[in-house]
């Protein structure tokens, strides 16, 4: 037996169990319960506030990024249209320059040929004139003086004049041709220079647009990266919130077997109440989490479910997945899952007549099953 000192006995006497007091003690109990409940709820407020504020901040940041991305994408589209337009103009100008350059080359060739012919006839003309000056006086005078009549004299004189005139006419003709080709060449060259100038200006504008496009594409890539980081940060925030048990059902639920075929609905069938919905699919077909949540059970059961999983989605909403083989299960109790995440594969385990998933939704508490299709969209 343990003996108590007088001091200890006195202290023990002062301890009153208010939970066993009738009347006024009951009021005290209720008061304490309310105060404790209020205190517990208040302790959670800062956590919820901090989460809500941070989530709102990240969502706003995400919205701002998306808005900037949208504006940048519009700018890029406008720039693409401008670049395509300038590209067409530039291509047209370059084609014109190419055609004009060919014409210029042909003019240069004609001019070169005319120059060669001119030099040939010019040489002959100069030789004729030179001979006339060097030897013509005696020879031509002798020819004229040896004329037997005045008419013969005039005829020989006219013949000499026509010969010189002919040589001069031929030379003049080629001088005229040369001048014509030179004018044509100069005109084409001037046109070529103008076209090349226009093409250079168009190329400058085109290059500036390309540089601006690259800047916008770089800005878009930066915004996309920023968006990715913000989404990851938001996902991490939600993940930590779920891990801490501070999350609420946001709904709706997604079909847990996207590639399955619904076979059995919720409700009575053959005199037996079916507590869920069945989706038939080949063994191994992916089963996904119907919504974000925390796995609270992942185990085998002799109750007919085979291997089954239960996920708490917050807000009193639970989803149950049954008939899997253990080897196909990818999550364990305590794991946090995201909506659409593969958690297992379709099986034929337990009370099952063929490969399928038995899916249930519980509301408020476990075993309080409701029609899943009221929550699936």
Model confidence pLDDT, tens digit, residues 87-107 = 888 888 888 888 888 887 887
CA distances from 12 to 9, 15, 25, 32 (A): 5, 5, 19, 22
For residue 369, give the DSSP letter: E
Cis check for the bond before 252: say yes or no (omega within 30 of 0).
yes
pLDDT at 356: 97
Cβ burial of 312 (10 Å; 0-12, 13-18, 19+) is buried
pLDDT at 278: 97
Query: What are 326-364's pLDDT values in tens digits?
Result: 999 999 999 999 899 999 999 999 999 999 999 999 999
Q: Give the number of other Cβ atoms within 10 Å of residue 210's Cβ.
A: 14
More confident residue, 227 or 243: 227
Provide the 3-class DSSP secondary structure of residue 121: helix
The domains located in the chain, with CATH, are 68-230 (1.10.287.1700), 261-374 (2.70.70.10)
Q: Which residues have a Cβ under 8 Å from the Cβ of 168 and sit 6 or more positions away?
A: 125
Task: Enter the pTM of the model.
Answer: 0.47
pLDDT at 43: 45
User: Cα(201)–Cα(198) distance, rounded to whole angstroms?
Assistant: 5
Which among 260, 96, 113, 261 is positioned nearest to 181, based on CA atoms?
113
Provide the 3-class DSSP secondary structure of residue 112: helix
CA distances from 56 to 62, 162, 242 (A): 10, 107, 17
What count of residues does the chain have? 377
pLDDT at 164: 64
Which of 75-89, 126-140, 195-209, 295-309 is predicted least confidently? Answer: 126-140
| Tokens of residue 251, six digits | 């709904």
User: Cα(168)–Cα(170) distance, rounded to whole angstroms?
Assistant: 5
Query: Rounded to an integer, what is the distance from CA 17 to the centroid of its chain?
Result: 69
């Amino acid at each position: 037996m343990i003996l108590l000192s007088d001091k200890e006995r006195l202290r023990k006497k002062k301890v009153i169990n208010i939970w066993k007091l009738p009347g006024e003690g009951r009021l005290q109990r209720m008061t304490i319960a309310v105060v404790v409940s209020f205190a517990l709820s208040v302790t959670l407020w800062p956590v919820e506030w901090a989460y809500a504020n941070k989530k709102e901040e990240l969502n706003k940041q995400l919205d701002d990024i998306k808005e900037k991305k949208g504006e940048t994408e519009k700018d890029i589209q406008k720039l693409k249209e401008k670049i395509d337009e300038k590209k067409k103009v530039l291509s047209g100008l370059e084609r014109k320059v190419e055609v004009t350059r060919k014409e210029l080359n042909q003019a240069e060739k004609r001019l070169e040929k005319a120059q060669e012919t001119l030099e040939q006839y010019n040489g002959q003309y100069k030789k004729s004139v030179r001979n006339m000056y060097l030897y013509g006086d005696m020879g031509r005078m002798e020819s004229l003086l040896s004329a037997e009549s005045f008419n013969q004299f005039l005829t020989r004189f006219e013949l000499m004049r026509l010969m010189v005139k002919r040589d001069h006419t031929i030379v003049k003709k080629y001088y005229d041709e040369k001048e014509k080709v030179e004018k044509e060449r100069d005109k084409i060259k001037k046109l070529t220079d103008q076209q090349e100038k226009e093409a250079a200006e168009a190329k400058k504008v085109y290059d500036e647009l390309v540089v601006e496009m690259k800047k916008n594409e770089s800005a878009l890539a930066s915004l996309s990266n920023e968006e990715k980081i913000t989404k990851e940060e938001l996902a991490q925030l939600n993940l930590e919130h779920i891990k801490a048990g501070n999350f609420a059902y946001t709904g709706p639920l997604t079909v847990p077997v996207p590639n399955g075929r619904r076979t059995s609905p919720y409700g009575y069938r053959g005199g037996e109440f079916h507590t869920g919905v069945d989706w038939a699919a080949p063994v191994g077909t992916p089963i996904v989490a119907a919504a974000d949540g925390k796995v609270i059970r992942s185990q085998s059961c002799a109750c007919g479910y085979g291997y089954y999983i239960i996920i708490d989605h917050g807000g009193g909403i639970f989803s149950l997945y049954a008939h899997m083989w253990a080897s196909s299960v990818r999550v364990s109790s305590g794991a946090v899952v995201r909506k659409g995440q593969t958690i297992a594969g379709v099986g034929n385990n337990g009370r099952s007549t063929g490969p399928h998933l038995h899916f249930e939704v519980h509301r408020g508490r476990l075993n309080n099953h409701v029609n899943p299709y009221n929550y699936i969209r």
